[in-house]
Amino acid sequence: MMKRLFADPTGNSTVELAIIMPVLVLLTCLAGDVAMAFKAKIALQRAAERTAQLATAGGYTSDTTNSSAAYNNLAADAAAAAGVSTSNVTVTPTLVCDSTPQTTPDYCTSTQQQKRYVAITISGTYTPMFAKLAPSSKWSSSGIAITGSSSVRLQ
């Protein structure tokens, strides 16, 4: 009877499918998870680019009296666009005089060429779909760090 059972080829494909199907399902879910992580990364990048566009339209080049409040508003706009906290947004204005970044003072001499830039960096986290299946992994508690950044010349 066993000899006849091993010699009968019917059902081989079912057994092969049963062996390979969990691997195919796992690969499909992994591909979906990677795609969702890229989608989250692109959302942060688009929010940073949108904020850079707001900086160019907002007249930040002439704002020397209350620049910290203006850049805080820019950070709040970036956080709202990305759906994160304002503590996850970094707005870095830079003044360049004759190709030399200035830290202080906040102006160039009349003989120097002046350029102003602003860089926006938004950080966030992405928690994979199956992080709860591996509770001891580092992703289950903190997620994967993702960032989006953009910079623009204002003047």
| 61 within 8 A of 154, measured Cβ to Cβ | yes
- Residue 61 in this model has a pLDDT that exceeds 60: no
pTM of the complete model:
0.75
Residues sharing a CB contact under 8 Å with residue 2, sequence separation 6 or more, in sequence order: none
Distance CA 35, CA 38 (A): 5
- Mean confidence (pLDDT) of the chain: 81
* pLDDT reported for residue 98: 82
Please give the pLDDT value at position 28: 92
Which pair of tokens denotes residue 66? Answer: 């209350």
Q: What percent of the chain has pLDDT over 70?
A: 81
Predicted local confidence at residue 104, as pLDDT: 66
Residue for token digits 């709202």? 80
Judged against a pLDDT cut of 60, whether residue 38 lies above it is answered with yes
